[in-house]
Structure 1
Amino acid sequence: MSGAFPGPGDDPFPGTGAKRVASWRIRANSADPVRDLDAVHRLGGRFVVPGDIEWPRQLDDLGDTRPLGLWVRGPADLRTWALRSVALVGARACTPYGAHTATDLATGLARQGWVVVSGAAYGIDGAAHRGALAAGGATVAVLACGVDTAYPRGHQQLIDRIAEQGLVVGELPPGSHPTPSRFILRNRLIAALTRGTVVIEARHRSGSLVTARVAARLGRHTMGVPGPVTSGLSAGVHELLRGEATLVSDADEVVELVGAMGQLAPTRRGPVLPRDLLAPAARQVLEAVPAGGPTPATVIARRAGTAPDDTLARLYELHSLGFVQRHGEGWRLTNTATLTSNARRGGT
């Protein structure tokens, strides 16, 4: 790798400056592949390259930015797991709401047989990994350092447990330490490995937004969990939701997007109230009964737009069901009917 730099016509690193290429040469001269392979083998790991059976082919979508290979620790097959995986990412300094949501999403996905992928950082990442592990599910930690280096150090036990029960993956050789730029590079791997990326709490200019936008460029599903509009930790997510991302609130909604055709989330609806079970004609008369004092049946019929005889028949039907009661010549709502009416209007 010594000698003069190639000319403009035969530049092997288009778009890269001379200083960057020079630094690569220095690092290449100090590289010791045999030492690195020995180090990962001592951990029970391996080095996976394009063409290997275990290589996740979706990483090829990265084109020129595809990694040369991946260092892997753990008993599972990376390619198989990546085929059915979802990334959960978000803020390190998350709120209790964010941590709870990440845990709940990861648990739900794991119970449905999906692999949860994240970056092993504090906050949302850690909550996602723990949620998957707690459900006895599968999880992959993609590191911005060597797979033999626990970062952050406070997650040493978590990363070791993931290596035993799941997979720990990294682009950098053993002994490498994280830098800010390496986190950004790591995020493209998370986006490319998975079927979709869910962002749970992220400020503007968050690295999690980088992951989501890479996912969108690669044609993956991009999702976001909304939060309070007053929270700066949800501002980045809301920005995504105004653009390319889809709003999700639970694992079923995530699977509806990333899963097979027909895996639809259950229909969301409020509770069924007793008055919802009434026939349309009876419900029309009930809605015409004023909330005040007793009202004559003729007035109720006029308000309902129905014949007096039909109205009276419906009133006796509603009386037997406990919705109205008779007072002299008038009719009034019971407490049950008043409460269900308020509940239907949202308590107003």
Structure 2
Amino acid sequence: MSPECAAARDSFVDEVDIDLAMTAGGAAPFDIDGYERRLAWVYLSRVVAGPCAALSALIESVGVVEAARAVRECALPQSLRGPTEQRRGTDTAARDLDLMERLGGRVVTPDDPEWPAWRLLGLAQLDSGRDRDGAVPLVLWVRGPRSLLESSDRAVAVVGARCSSGYGNQVTAEIAGDLAAKGWTIVSGAAFGIDAMAHRAALAVGGVTIAVLACGVDRPYPAQHDRLLTEIAETGLVISEYPPGTPAHKHQFLARNRLVAALADGVLVVEAGLRSGARNTVKWARRLGRPALAVPGPVTSAASAGCHRMIRDGEALLVTRAEEVIDEAGPLRLLLPDPSDSPGAALSGDEALVFAALPEVGSRLPRELAEQSGLPLPAVRAALPALELAELVGANESGWYRKQPARRHR
């Protein structure tokens, strides 16, 4: 056994002895196994500090306690040695749990009743080779009084430009406020602009909102939103997959966006420039099978150019009010699909990805489909003839197109 593992074991035994002594005299018995598992989850969360498909696979195979032991002793496959090398010798799990308790927060693990397993199921189905940051989070660090499972039962993610316009702020306030008033949870990232307006609109009507951070829940980001995040934590939820004390880094925002999409029934973009990070959240929504929605703006507005592009390319459906959002994201649509609406529903593999990359209106060249689907060009060219034989697509002088556009419920 390595010195690090021996030290962690001795520390754990000391903590358990103290807790057992405290339960003497008729107190509730201490759940040693449950505490050991919680320490293991928290330790691994800090070791990798973010999504790690290889570690998730190891936990699925051997269990979280054994996975933690393997990481401490570096008894690991090659794919895990690099991601765990820097922090495997640091075990602050007990202190992290104590810190969260002092913050009035908690850590939610897959062992807990409020773990939103069905919401996160889609992440487990993603190809880790293609979606490197697409793994299920190991744990979620949470501040707020509500159940994460119940709060995400009916939810819409509202995202958009950080430099929002007056028009964008007004539309966000109206749509997010109406959704929250109708009992929908508003999920967003607490950034400047559209995100903050969506959170404030939900709070203004006494609704529920969830802020998903790309840093530790004890480090408000941006710092100017300290008061906003405190207010959200008092009535809703502030969550992160990153342990306390973790600063915000650029790549963590892109990984965070998958949780914003996963915790909601659909993603609404109110304003977005052509290079807006909101389009990354839409990408995750499409990967997870969630509807992507966009609000149009003035044709002269650069702040809405990304929304217009997504609508034009078939990446998002045009909506203008809360009722239209509910029509697309509501449970009737999700639970009672019409098979005729999804002619490509039976597809899998490369063919499914290529078909999904084709817009409902218009055509695309193979190179454009390769960019949209993330597949290499030869794989796209191999999939297109198979789709044509299935009478799902056709070709003309401008490229490939869908033969049977999906029809919408009414």
Alignment of 1:260-279 (within 5 A): 260-261=331-332
Pairing 1:50–2:110 present: yes
Q: 1:3 to 1:237 in 2, by over 3 A?
A: same
Tell me the alpha carbon deviations over residues 88-127 of structure 1, each in whole angstroms, 9 at most, x when there is no partner.
0001111111111111111100111000000011100100
Q: 1:41 to 1:5 in 2, by over 3 A?
A: closer
Whose Rg is larger? 1
Deviation (angstroms), 1:225: 0.5
SS in structure 2 opposite 1:28?
A: coil
Deviation (angstroms), 1:196: 0.4
Pairing 1:130–2:200 present: yes
**Structure 2 partner of 1:29:** 89
- Of 164, 170, 176, the residue aligned with 1:100 is 170
**Structure 2 partner of 1:190:** 260
**Structure 2 partner of 1:62:** 123
TM-score after normalising by structure 2? 0.59
**Structure 1 partner of 2:295:** 225
Deviation (angstroms), 1:230: 1.7
Q: 1:3 to 1:123 in 2, by over 3 A?
A: same
SS in structure 2 opposite 1:76?
A: coil
Pairing 1:248–2:308 present: no
- Of 39, 43, 59, the residue aligned with 2:99 is 39
Deviation (angstroms), 1:260: 3.2
Distance (whole Å) between structure 2 residues aligned to residue 188 and residue 120 of structure 1:
15
Q: Which 4+ stretches in 1 moved above 3 angstroms? A: 1-6, 10-13, 21-24
Tell me the alpha carbon deviations over residues 318-345 of structure 1, each in whole angstroms, 9 at most, x when there is no partner.
xxxxxxxxxxxxxxxxxxxxxxxxxxxx
Q: 1:204 to 1:27 in 2, by over 3 A?
A: farther
Tell me the alpha carbon deviations over residues 254-279 of structure 1, each in whole angstroms, 9 at most, x when there is no partner.
1111113389xxxxxxxxxxxxxxxx
* Equivalent residue letter for 1:36: D
SS in structure 1 opposite 2:89?
A: helix
Alignment of 1:69-88 (within 5 A): 69-88=139-158
Distance (whole Å) between structure 1 residues aligned to residue 196 and residue 261 of structure 2:
17
The number of residues matched between the two structures is 253
* Equivalent residue letter for 1:156: D
Pairing 1:156–2:226 present: yes
SS in structure 1 opposite 2:284?
A: helix
SS in structure 2 opposite 1:75?
A: coil
* Equivalent residue letter for 1:261: L
* Percent of residue pairs bearing the same amino acid type: 48
Deviation (angstroms), 1:31: 4.1
- Is the 8 Å Cα contact of residues 186 and 199 (structure 2) preserved in structure 1? yes
Deviation (angstroms), 1:205: 2.5
Q: 1:131 to 1:4 in 2, by over 3 A?
A: closer
Pairing 1:207–2:267 present: no
Distance (whole Å) between structure 1 residues aligned to residue 169 and residue 252 of structure 2:
24
**Structure 1 partner of 2:385:** none
SS in structure 1 opposite 2:138?
A: coil
- Comparing 229-238 and 67-76, the one that deviates more: 229-238
Distance (whole Å) between structure 1 residues aligned to residue 320 and residue 113 of structure 2:
36
Q: 1:254 to 1:30 in 2, by over 3 A?
A: same
Distance (whole Å) between structure 2 residues aligned to residue 4 and residue 39 of structure 1:
27
Distance (whole Å) between structure 1 residues aligned to residue 175 and residue 224 of structure 2:
23
Deviation (angstroms), 1:3: 8.1
- Is the 8 Å Cα contact of residues 265 and 329 (structure 2) preserved in structure 1? yes
SS in structure 2 opposite 1:141?
A: strand
- Of 111, 114, 119, the residue aligned with 2:181 is 111
- Of 223, 243, 246, the residue aligned with 1:176 is 246
Consecutive unaligned residues of structure 2, counting only runs of 5 or more, are 1-70, 129-134, 335-410
Distance (whole Å) between structure 2 residues aligned to residue 24 and residue 91 of structure 1:
35
Q: 1:205 to 1:24 in 2, by over 3 A?
A: farther
Q: 1:4 to 1:115 in 2, by over 3 A?
A: closer
- Is the 8 Å Cα contact of residues 72 and 89 (structure 2) preserved in structure 1? no
Tell me the alpha carbon deviations over residues 160-202 of structure 1, each in whole angstroms, 9 at most, x when there is no partner.
0000010000010111110100111100000111100001111
Distance (whole Å) between structure 2 residues aligned to residue 230 and residue 179 of structure 1:
33
For the aligned residue pairs, the C-alpha RMSD in angstroms reads: 1.9
Q: 1:28 to 1:97 in 2, by over 3 A?
A: farther
TM-score after normalising by structure 1? 0.69
Deviation (angstroms), 1:30: 2.7
Distance (whole Å) between structure 1 residues aligned to residue 228 and residue 139 of structure 2:
24
Alignment of 1:195-344 (within 5 A): 195-242=265-312, 243-261=314-332
* Equivalent residue letter for 2:295: V
* Equivalent residue letter for 1:104: E
* Equivalent residue letter for 2:324: E
* Equivalent residue letter for 1:232: A
